[in-house]
Structure 1
Amino acid sequence: MSQLLINDIKQTIDVSEKEIEHIMTFFVSDTFKKKDFIIRESDKVEHMYFILSGLVKLSVMDNQANEHIISFAMDAWWETDYHAFYTQTRASQSLRCIENTRVLKLSYGGYHRLLQEVPKMTHFFLNKAVRGHTSSQRRILSLMTLSAQGKYEHFLKYYPLLLQRIPKTTLALYLGVSRETLSRFFRSPSYCD
């Protein structure tokens, strides 16, 4: 069993050890190497992923083949193309590993059985959805209202642990600034690509 996922669940809902044992039977572990795709655009999205270790990015390509990064997920975070997962349609986004990554995956069918068999998990996933939605709104507002420096400071405030793990070029794409502009903001000589 993964203590990281157990801790994540117990921080949100009150569950017994017997319930935890049952909940964990719905998850399957998987590993991916750096640069592997967990989901490619147009794939059918069968799973949501709990990141045990590693770092991934959720992104989309536009018609000119420019990548737009929507989000990152690291240890103890959840990620997938949620629209495609919940509607069981093809992915409009890709999920790709920035680092070697270990996950626990929960299938679409398993998700629904889990909610039926352990109803309090509905509250758990609702809590995760609300937190994700709030984070997305905060990001959209920062992109719409902040200067390049402000976007960087916003990212630093909310995601300081990611700063040392994300290559500068990737972070610049996420913030919508040039790599040169981003380089001016770094104060720490310890940052490395």
Structure 2
Amino acid sequence: MKEKLKKHIENLISLTDDEFSLILSYFSFEKYKKNDFIIQEGENVKNCYLIVNGLLKLVYDDKNGKQHIVSFAMEDWWESDFSAYFSQTKAKMSLMCIEDTTVFSLSFKNYQKLSAASPKMKQFFLEKSNSGHIASQNRILSFLTSNAKERYEQLLKLYPLLFQRVPKILLASYLGVSRETLSRLSS
């Protein structure tokens, strides 16, 4: 499993074996079962997660009890309630396993220590953060400028594997449409 972490990091920066050993010492390896909550709304968010195997959904439950899917995360993606993680506050969203999932977990304290100890990792985290911001802005723009069919086609083009792994009801929620509308879009 540690080779997956090394390969993931080396997609952006090169590492010596000693550098990777140091980096690895800051992470924990964890396993979760399908339907487990990794983060629950209202809890303190202590960790962010790099998904090694599996699939997660980040959800927000509104005051009317409706669940909104903010994002999905699969292999080689990072996920958390990042607002709560970086501000060290209580989660506004929940992170739940759609499949059995294994992750590398990084506590906020270890994130700070690792960033201070390794300029390479500080740069790595900056690049990952920037990519995440860009993806979030693109999703917001998609909701502002695209109709349901266009959002569906864009998601299919960008992440075809999601359509094989995520139940249609969850895809519909993510796209902001009913399951019936999603069925019409996909036919």
TM-score range normalised by the length of the shorter chain: over 0.9
Matched residue, 1:69: 69
Q: What RMSD, in angstroms, separates the aligned Cα atoms of the two structures?
A: 0.9
Shift of 1:91: 0.5
Q: Which runs of 5+ in 1 are unaligned?
A: 188-193
Aligned residue runs from structure 1 range 1-193, under 5 A: 1-187=1-187
Shift of 1:168: 0.2
- The alignment-based identity, stated in percent, is 48
TM-score (norm 2): 0.97
Q: Which has the higher helix share?
A: 2
Shift of 1:186: 2.3
TM-score (norm 1): 0.94
Partner amino acid for 2:160? P
Deviation per CA, 1:135-182, whole angstroms, max 9, x where unpaired? 001111111111111110010111111111110000000000110111
Runs of 4+ in 1 over 3 A off after TM superposition: none
Partner amino acid for 2:146? L
Distance 1:70 1:20 in 2: 32
Find the residue that maps to 1:180 and give its secondary structure: helix
Distance 1:114 1:122 in 2: 8
Q: Which runs of 5+ in 2 are unaligned?
A: none
Distance 1:159 1:152 in 2: 10
Deviation per CA, 1:88-127, whole angstroms, max 9, x where unpaired? 0000110001111111101111111111111211110000
